[in-house]
Amino acid sequence: MSSQHILLAIMVTAIWGFNFVVIHWGLGDMPPLLLSAMRFLVAAIPAVFFVKRPNISWGMLTAITFFHVSQFNLLFFGMSAGLSAGIASVVIQLQAFFTVLLAAILLGEKPRGRQIAGMALAFAGMIIIALSKSGSGTLLGLGLTIFGGLSWAITNIFMKRAGSIDMFALLIWVAALGALPMFGVSMLVEGPDQVVTALANLSWSGGASIAFMAYGATIFGFGVWGLLLHHYQAVRVASFSLLVPVFGMASAALLLAERFSTDKMIAALLVLAGLYLVVVHKSAAQVHTKKRV
C-alpha cells in the first residue's frame, strides 16, 4: 500500500475508534433507539437521492438492513445500559469471530486452527470482562453489545452471499430503509413524550454527535474504506480494523477519563490477540495461497 493510503486507513480506524466516545456523548442527549434513527436519517439524506440502489434483490437488501440496524441498536442499548465506550469498542469486534463461526456453519468454510485459537482467546477475554468487579460496564450492557457483534456477523454473511456490490451505495440505501421504521420503533418503545422532548432539547453537542456518526464514521469512513478495497486486496485492508479498539480505548481514556483496571486491560489484550490470529494470519494464508496459484 502507498503511504498515502496507509495514512487514510489509519485515519478511518481512528475515526471509527473515536466514534464510540461520540456515541457516549450522543446517548447523553437522547435515548438509544432515537439516536439510531437520527444517525441513519442524517446518513441517508441527501445522498440517497443521488446514489443508485445496489444491484441486489429487495429481499436481500431488507435482510441486510434489518441486521445492520439491529447491530447499532444493540450497541447503543448496551452502552446506554452501562458498558463503557472503551470496552464497547473491544467487545463489538467479536463480530469477526462470529463471522468465522457462521461461515463454517452456513457456508461450509472450515476454520483453521489459528482461527479457533483466536476465538478461544477472545471468549476468555469476554469471560474476564463479565466477571470483573471494577464496574466499567454491566452484564446487560455486555450481553447486548455481544449480540450487536452477532448481528454484525449475520450482516457480513448476507453481504457475502450478495456477491460483488457497491459498498457505499449499499450503506446509503440501508440507512434510508432503516431510518423511518426506527423512528416508529422509537415512538413505540421510548414513547412520544421522550422522543419529542429529546428532539426539542437537542444540544449542539448532541447534534454534532449525530453529524459525526453519519458523515464522519459512515459517509467518509466507509467511502474511504470502499476506495481502499477497490485498490487493494480485502484481506490487507481488513487488517487495519485491529486498530479500531485501540483508538476506541485511547479516546475513552483521554476524553471520558475512562480508567481501565488490570483485569480489563488483560481482557482487551486477549480479544485483540484473538482478533489478530483470526484476521491477520488468515489473511496471510489466503494471500500466500493466491500467489502459489
Mean of per-residue pLDDT scores for the chain: 82
The residue behind cell 457516549 is 24
Alpha carbon separation from 157 to 16, 65, 171, 207 (Å, rounded): 22, 13, 15, 33
121 vs 175, higher pLDDT: 175
- Biggest CA–CA distance in the chain, Å, is 63
Query: For 119-151, how does the pLDDT look when each residue is reduced to its tens digit (9 = 90+)?
Result: 788 778 777 766 665 555 578 888 899 999 899
Give residue 108's pLDDT. 77
Give residue 151's pLDDT. 92
Query: For 77-134, how does the pLDDT look when each residue is reduced to its tens digit (9 = 90+)?
Result: 999 988 888 888 888 888 877 887 888 888 777 777 777 787 788 778 777 766 665 5
Amino acid identity at 131: L
pLDDT mean over 45-74: 91
The Cα–Cα gap between 196 and 204 comes to 17
CB-based contact 174:67 (threshold 8 Å): no
